Amino acid sequence: MRKFFSEINKPESPFRLALTFFIPFVVILSILFALLILWEKKSHDRKLTNTLKESAMALFDQIMITRLWNAQHGGVYVEVTPETPPNPYLEDPRRDIVSVDGRRYTKVNPAYMTRQLSEITMKRHGYKFRIISLYPVNPYNFPDEWERDALKKFEKGDVVENAEIFEQDGSRVFKYIAPLKVEESCLKCHAKHGYSYGDVRGGISIIIPMERYDLLYSMDFRKTIISMLTIAAVSTIFVAGITFIISKRLSSAIERDMERKRLAAIIELAGATAHEMRQPMTIVHNLIGLFKEKFEHREPLTEEEMNIINNQCDRMNNIIRKMLSITDYKTKDYIKGKKIIDLDESSKTEDKE
């Protein structure tokens, strides 16, 4: 309980008091903001994946319709140009024809058309798509590993589509793949490859580069971070101010309380001193009066009287010694609800702490 004495002598500084409130606030705020940022990043990726998937699905649908239109015509003739040479994989005796005015035309099958459409889309939007198959006639249509896994699942009928984000050369790409079902019109050319109606014999994979989206998002994200930091800074300054003001008030209240305790301790010590010393002092005082009288009548002092004085002096000495060795703050009830320091209890040397 030596603490009491050190406590009443060392007032709490308002700055330290403010820190005890402020540090937990800053820690909690930081954790909260970190979680918020993480959550925001996660939900953004989820939203972006959904948006990209919708775009990919719309594109896939468009490709399918165009391919079907082509297939329904059993392929479409276009003029031969350096960009559109005859397709060596298309086995058709009427693949190449010449018009009456001598122009050369070649039949473009859906897969060939898909490649050309992809080139245009690539130039216009940066999207790429590809027709693929596990057993392609054209080696160009071989799937990569991810596409192969998806195609196998499609063939088993496990899933109807697959979408994923990939890191590629430092930037991200979104990949989407869905199966191609064999229609009646496909069999004109593919019956000989063992295709039959309703089969899944391949798929179309779409690659959307995410650079543009990521760039837009990183600008957006920067704004979010800046506004979050602003909110954090403003609330931190606000809370710092408030805690400092409260702590200042609290610390002066504590200071006043200590002042009161100090005063109480002094009064209680004075009370104890008065209480303990009064009796021996009175005895000594009375004996001195007696000695004076005896001295006037030339009467001798008895040894017993001397002993009494000696004992009372010892008693007082003992009280002083106890006062000097106070290590604790223990009080006892005195008269009229007042308390005084309990010298015996307060000066016990086998004090804990």
Instruction: Read off the amino acid at residue 277.
Output: M
d(CA 25, CA 30): 9
Tell whether residue 131 is a contact of ligand HEC (CB under 6 A): yes
Burial class (CB within 10 angstroms; exposed 0-12, middle 13-18, buried 19+) of 21? middle
Instruction: Give me the residue label for tokens 């650079």.
Output: 211
d(CA 11, CA 34): 37
Q: Which of these, 178, 176, 177, 182, lies nearest to 200 by C-alpha position?
A: 182
Q: 1 near 348, Cβ under 8 Å? A: no
Q: List the one residue from 111, 163, 200, 326 that touches ligand HEC (CB under 6 A).
A: 111
Tell whether residue 106 is a contact of ligand HEC (CB under 6 A): no
Q: Which of 104-112, 223-231, 249-257, 294-302 is the region at the interface with ligand HEC (rule: CB under 6 A)?
A: 104-112
* Angle ∠(81,82,85) on CA atoms, nearest 5: 70
The number of residues that bind ligand HEC (CB under 6 A) is 28
Q: 247 near 14, Cβ under 8 Å? A: yes
Specify the residue, 69 or 238, whose C-beta has the smaller distance to ligand HEC.
69
d(CA 256, CA 269): 20
Q: How far is the CB of 234 from ligand HEC (least distance, A)?
A: 60
Q: Which of 14-22, 39-47, 179-187, 272-280 is the region at the interface with ligand HEC (rule: CB under 6 A)?
A: 179-187
Q: List the one residue from 14, 143, 202, 280 that touches ligand HEC (CB under 6 A).
A: 202
Tell whether residue 189 is a contact of ligand HEC (CB under 6 A): yes
57-86 residues in contact with ligand HEC (CB under 6 A) are: 67-68, 71, 74-75
Specify the residue, 182 or 269, whose C-beta has the smaller distance to ligand HEC.
182
Q: List the one residue from 8, 56, 178, 180 that touches ligand HEC (CB under 6 A).
A: 180
Tell whether residue 137 is a contact of ligand HEC (CB under 6 A): yes
Instruction: Read off the amino acid at residue 151.
Output: L
d(CA 232, CA 34): 12
Q: How far is the CB of 53 from ligand HEC (least distance, A)?
A: 22
Q: How many CB atoms lie within 10 A of CB 343?
A: 22
Tell whether residue 247 is a contact of ligand HEC (CB under 6 A): no
Burial class (CB within 10 angstroms; exposed 0-12, middle 13-18, buried 19+) of 278? exposed
Tell whether residue 201 is a contact of ligand HEC (CB under 6 A): yes
Binding site for ligand HEC (CB under 6 A): 67-68, 71, 74-75, 87, 89-90, 109-112, 131, 133, 136-138, 141, 180, 182-183, 185-186, 188-190, 201-202
